Amino acid sequence: MSSRARLRTRTGCLQCRKRRKKCDEARPRCTGCTRNALDCEWPSGDNQPPDGRSRRALAPSGLSLIQLSSPVVMPAPFQSYENAYLYRYFASTILPRLVRQSSLDQTHMLRLAPQFSPLFGAMVAVAGMQLPCTARWPTRFALQGYLHTIHSLQTSLTDITKAGCDDRVLATVILLSVFESCRSDATSTVAPHVTAAGLLLTQRRPREFRTKAAATFDRICVESFLYHASLMMIFDPLLDALTGVRNELGLPLYFDQLPSLTNQPREAILQASYKFFLLIADVTKLSRLSRPLDSAEVLRWRSLDSDLSRWISLTVSDDMSLSICYLAIQILLQKMNPDITSLERTQRVRSLLEEALRRVPLSKIDSQPPEYLLWPVAILGAVAVRFEERKVLQDFIASIVARKLGGQGAWVQERLGRIWRTASPESASPEPNLVGLQVLLDGG
């Protein structure tokens, strides 16, 4: 037997495994840990690390890790097998899930990671939070990667102009937004990261001489920012990342002009035109108001209502999530409608709610980003009062949470639970709960 084989251990303590030393397995404290004054900890179901000699056993059912074209160069402090596994899971499963078109070249971001440890840490963090297993080690490594990224990124952000031109910094900040939107261990703090991404993007413009992979990267970053800046507003009342930077982003350059070039993709992340997501942000912001609209806000409401009417074709779209989003925006607009009575308002919201609920069970959970489904479902749940309505939404959200597709699922469950307890289906009026909708928008 070779010396390398003798030093490996499958059943020894965690310290001996980490040091790749033979463990005599003396409990409660092995000889090696006693000799070196180390804490002797033994594996359990919660802290069991992956064994490099049985990688297939670690992967959950249905998980297939890609074989990268070349060995991964692991930047410090991510040289462990656990971090390599999470990186490969990000590359094989998470990144393709973020991008709607699987044919797009997604390799640019992956090439940047080994050169920049904050980006590598962000990838590990996102993968660890979304790895579908019950063990605790993925979450532990995810938080370690996140903390390293936050600490290491600070120096790179001192000069915003220079940082905005650095693909590595932009990719890292975008993935921090993804991490916050999918974490389930704590309250999401997505607003600072999304705001930072917007500021970085104001320092950039699409460049025609970029490679196809780099051009795709640009679009992924811009669309990811718009995705989070609009849809995450319902989950974080402090988020208002588009105000003040929208005109500086140069969005038409990305979407209306360069897509005709061969190296510019169509929507990589967004389900519809970027203008639809800008509309979501504008309607959400105005609907946060709990008081009657002033004269300027009434004009703004009518402009938004007119803009939304151009998207009515979404109600007959094959993509159920698009039609549900359209109906949810209508509910937000009717909440503030200055031209109708209270009775007309509740009647319109009731009709929109019933129409949307018929579509919810037909939505394809696995083919959509989680917040894209949770955003309208949260709005529907806030106004739902009947038991059968809430049951449809409750089951749908539970399916998202069970698949570990997004931490906001747990947030929606908690918020809707609070709203529903204040108006139980047994005692509530069948009219929509517009008070509950305001509570949701306030973040309560």
How many domains, in total, are found in the chain?
3
Residue 4 burial by Cβ neighbours in a 10 Å radius (0-12, 13-18, 19+): exposed
**Is 293 within a domain?**
yes
Given pLDDT bands bounded at 50, 70 and 90, which one contains residue 66? very low
Q: What number is the average pLDDT over the span 27-53?
A: 68
Minimum mean pLDDT among 1-15, 36-50, 299-313: which range?
1-15
Whether residues 298 and 270 fall in one domain: no
DSSP 74-137: --TT--SHHHHHHHHHIIIIIHHHH-S-TTS--HHHHHHGGG-HHHHHHHHHHHHHH---S-SH
Asked whether the predicted pLDDT for residue 305 surpasses 90, the reply is yes
Asked whether the predicted pLDDT for residue 424 surpasses 80, the reply is no
pLDDT value, residue 189: 82
Q: What number is the average pLDDT over the span 59-78?
A: 58
Given pLDDT bands bounded at 50, 70 and 90, which one contains residue 425? low
The gap between the terminal CA atoms of the chain, to the nearest Å, is: 63
56 vs 193, higher pLDDT? 193
How much of the chain, in percent, has pLDDT values that exceed 70? Answer: 81
Nearest of 216, 188, 432, 422 to residue 332 by alpha carbon: 432
Whether residues 180 and 257 fall in one domain: yes
pLDDT value, residue 49: 52
**Is 66 within a domain?**
no
Whether residues 31 and 87 fall in one domain: no
Q: What number is the average pLDDT over the span 235-244?
A: 88
Whether residues 274 and 303 fall in one domain: no
**Residue after which a domain boundary falls, among 246, 279, 312:** 279
Minimum mean pLDDT among 44-58, 72-86, 332-346: which range?
44-58
Q: What number is the average pLDDT over the span 402-431?
A: 75
Whether residues 421 and 292 fall in one domain: yes
Whether residues 79 and 36 fall in one domain: no
pLDDT value, residue 6: 41
220 vs 198, higher pLDDT? 198
Whether residues 319 and 435 fall in one domain: yes
Whether residues 150 and 298 fall in one domain: no
User: Could you give the residue ranges of the DSSP H alpha helices within 273-430?
Assistant: 274-287, 295-309, 320-336, 342-359, 370-383, 387-402, 408-422
Domain, as residue range, for 104 = 75-279
Asked whether the predicted pLDDT for residue 416 surpasses 50, the reply is yes
